[in-house]
Amino acid sequence: MKSLASAVKRLRGNKSQFMLGAEYDIPSSVISDIERNVKDPQLTTLFKLADAFGLTISQFMKELEKELPDNFSVSDK
């Protein structure tokens, strides 16, 4: 989730959490929780964020991948 937090902060740029949320129907508290790595977002929120950044969901996931550590794995090996 750290990767998501970093990507959202980076992609949001200078736009405030409040303005981004207001424009794309995402509560600013949800954006804050994501950026502070406090809460996992709902799938619909990820789609809204992708739209807010002018990306498809697959492009947004590629942006998230840029933030992942080189040795990232979702399962223990």
pLDDT digits (tens, 9 = 90+) for 29-58: 999 999 999 989 999 999 999 999 999 999
State which amino acid sits at residue 2: K
For residue 77, what pLDDT is reported? 58
Mean pLDDT taken over the chain = 92
The CATH class given to the 2-67 domain equals mainly alpha
Domain-by-domain residue ranges, the chain? 2-67
pTM over 0.95: no
The phi and psi torsions of 71 (rounded to 5 degrees) equal -95, 25
**Rounded distance, CA 39 to CA 68, Å?**
18
User: b/e string for 2-26 if b means 16 or more Cβ within 10 A?
Assistant: ebbbbbbeebbeeeebeebbeebeb
